Amino acid sequence: MQTLTPVTLRSRPSLDEHELALVNARLETASPSEIVAWAHDRFGARLAMTASFADTTLIDIATSVAPDVEVIFLDTGFHFAETLNAVRRAMERYALNLTVLRPPADAADVWEHGSDACCAARKVDLLDQHLTGRVDAWLSGVRRADSPERADAAIVSIDRRGLVKVNPMANMTDDEYERYIAERDVIVNTLQYDGYASIGCWPCTEPSTDGRAGRWGGTKTECGLHL
């Protein structure tokens, strides 16, 4: 009987600094769909994406290129009902390959431990644990127009985990973004019609038409996922 030798499947190597610079230069003028196509061609099944369900623009773009891409939703336990309804509507429209990550029952919360600890336990740690060792790259919906803190966001970068982070919509202007939503009839979280320009967890999100200014009572604009 033939003896089989176990083989460890290796992921594709990450991008070095030289290739990273070349890729960013080439993709700077590419469309979001072309950027997703590059990422899917490079990383295949080891590519995933995150979605907050403020709308489904990135989902619409990504699934038009890679219908089976894994879509990760961080269910913090504190989402608005409107956000969960957007998840349901997206499942119906796109038949998503959806992974829902939930924190343990004793995870830190905003009232007892503060917003930084709450975000870490209910978002950052969950994503760290899920991505590490499972994917080589992930897509996010970060746009430079979102906030001053995101104005220099690269299309492709290496995140703190050593994974390739791809922002296909980084160079979309607000006009381009809104036009895409209208032309494609993208699913929009109905809280946007009630004055919520940015939508996170209900304890830490207030109505605001000024980008991410309604998040965390103005004490910060990022939860840590994109730092």
| Binding-site residues for [4Fe-4S] cluster | 118-119, 201, 204
In whole angstroms, what is the distance from residue 169 CA to residue 32 CA?
A: 5
Catalytic, out of 71, 165, 223, 224: 223
Question: Cα 154 from chain centroid?
Answer: 14
Our CA dihedral for 219, 220, 224, 226, rounded to 10 degrees, sits at: 170
DSSP string, 106-168: T---HHHH-HHHHHIIIIIHHHHHHHTTT-SEEE----GGG-GGGTT--SEEE-TTS-EEE-T
Structure letter (DSSP) for residue 70:
E
Is 223 assigned a catalytic role?
A: yes
Residue 155: closest CA among 39, 28, 62? 28
Catalytic residues: 223
